[in-house]
Amino acid sequence: MIRRITLICTLGLAALLVVVAAGCGGNASGSGDGDSSLTLVAYSTPQEAYEEIIPAFQKTSAGQNVDFEQSYASSGEQSRAVEAGLPADIVAFSLEPDVTRLVDAGLVPADWAQADHDGMVTDSVVVLAVRKGNPKNIQTWDDIVQEGVEVITPNPFTSGGARWNLMAAYGAQIKQGKSEEEAVDFLRQVLEHTAVQDKSARESLQTFTGGKGDVLIAYENEAITAQQKGEELDYVVPDETILIENPVAVTEEASEQAQAFVDFLQGPEAQKIFGEKGYRPVDDEVLGQFDYPQPSGLFTIKDVGGWDAVMTKFFDRDTGLVAKIEADLGVSTESG
C-alpha cells in the first residue's frame, strides 16, 4: 500500500517536472525569432555588463532583429573551446594571448589588433582586495608578503587573471627601482604566501568572499562587481600596478553585424555601461566621466616586455620563471 503510494508520487512528480520543463522549454534569453544571430563567447567577469549592453545594442538600428547567444566561462577555457570548435562570432577575452591562440588557429584575422584602441574594449588595474575595514592594514605590495598574511591568487597556468596579477607584482617591483633579481624573488614570496590556487580569477574571488585568505590579488572590476553584489570587501589600488587591457575580436566566420556590435562596444553608450559596472572605459572621454583612481606608477604589459616575451619568460611550463619558482617551493606546475 505504502509502496504503491510512493510509486505514484514518484512518477507523478517526475511527470510534472517533465511537463513543466517541456512547456517552457523552447525559448530562452535572446534566442527568439530574430533575423540573424550572433554568438558571443566571453570570459566570465563581464557577464553583467554584456547583459545590459546587448539589449542596448538591440535597440539601435544596427542591432535590430539580432539575437544573441552568450557563453561565459574563464578566458582560457573559452579560448580553448573556440579553438576546439565552439562557434563564435565575437570573442571577448581577458588577455591578448587568448586571442593570439585563435589567430594562430586561423579563426581570428591577424589584423584584429589594428582596430580602434588596439582591439581593446575595456581596461582595469590590478588591485589588492582586503576584508572590510582592512584589518591587516594592507596598503602596498610589500604588505602582502608580511608574516602571517595569506594571499589568494589563481593558478597562473590555468588563469589569465593570475598572469595579470603576477606581472603586476613583478612590474611594481621594477617600477620601484628594484633589480630583476629582487623582483623575481618578490614573486617567489608572493607564491609562498598563496594559500589556494583556484583555476580561474572568478573562482579565486569566490574563495576570498567565502572567507579564506587575507588579501586577494584581483582585477579592480572584480572587486567592484563583488561589492555591487553585496559582498563585504574593500580594495586598495597600489601606487604601482599594471593596466589590464581586455581584447575583443570578430572571428573569421562572422558576419558584418558582428563588427557592428564591436563598434558599438567601443562607442559611448556601451563604454558608459562598462564604466558603471566597474571597468575602465578605453574611450578617454567616457573615462573622464568616472573617477577611477590613477596610480602614479601605472605601467602596461609592454613595459615588462609584451605578452609574447612574458609568456615565454615567465609562464612556460618547463622553462618559465614562475614554473621554476613553484618547483622550488615544492609548489610546482609541470616542469619536466
- Binding to another protein, residues 196-215 (CB under 8 A): 196-199, 202-203, 206-207, 209-212
Instruction: Please list every residue from 178 through 197 that binds another protein, using CB under 8 A.
Output: 194-197
Torsion, CA 103, CA 108, CA 114, CA 120, rounded to 10 = -90
Q: For residue 51, which phi and psi values (nearest 5 degrees)? A: -65, -20
CB of 74 to another protein, least distance (A): 8
For 99, 170, 268, the CA distances from 284, given in Å and listed in that order, are 24, 27, 10
* Contacting another protein within 45-64 (CB under 8 A): 47-48
| Closest distance to another protein from the beta carbon of 117 (Å) | 27
Q: Is 238 within 8 Å of 136 (Cβ atoms)?
A: no
- Minimum CB–partner distance for residue 210 and another protein (Å): 6
Residue 171 CB, shortest distance to another protein, in Å, is 22
Task: Identify the residue among 229, 284, 285, 291 touching another protein (CB under 8 A).
Answer: 229
Binding part of the chain for another protein, among 222-230, 233-241, 265-273, 288-296 by CB under 8 A, reads 222-230
- The mark string for 106-145 relative to another protein (x by CB under 8 A, - otherwise) is ----------------------------------------
Among 58, 189, 255, 335, binds another protein (CB under 8 A): 335
Provide CB contacts within 8 A for 224, sequence distance 6+.
Answer: 235, 277, 278
Least distance from C-beta 119 to another protein, angstroms?
Answer: 22
Amino acid identity, residue 172? A
Angle of CA points 45, 270, 59, to nearest 5° = 115
Could you say which residues in the range 68-97 bind another protein, by CB under 8 A? 69-73, 76-77, 80-81, 83-87
Distance CA 133, CA 232 (A): 9
Scanning residues 240 to 279, which ones bind another protein (CB under 8 A)?
none
Roughly what angle, to the nearest 10 degrees, separates helices 220-228 and 201-209? 50
330 binds another protein (CB under 8 A): yes
Among 24, 59, 61, 147, binds another protein (CB under 8 A): 24
For residue 72, list its beta bridge partners.
42
Q: Rule CB under 8 A: choose which of 60, 139, 158, 255 binds another protein.
A: 158
Nearer Cβ to another protein, position 7 or 182? 7
Q: What DSSP line would sit under 42-80, residue for residue?
A: EESTTHHHHHHHHHHHHHSTTTTTEEEEEEEE-HHHHHH
Rounded CA separation 319/313 (Å): 8
Handedness of CA 128, 131, 132, 134 (dihedral sign): negative
**Residue number with CB closer to another protein (148 or 330):** 330
Residue 313 lies near another protein (rule: CB under 8 A): no
Q: Is 306 in the site for another protein (CB under 8 A)?
A: no
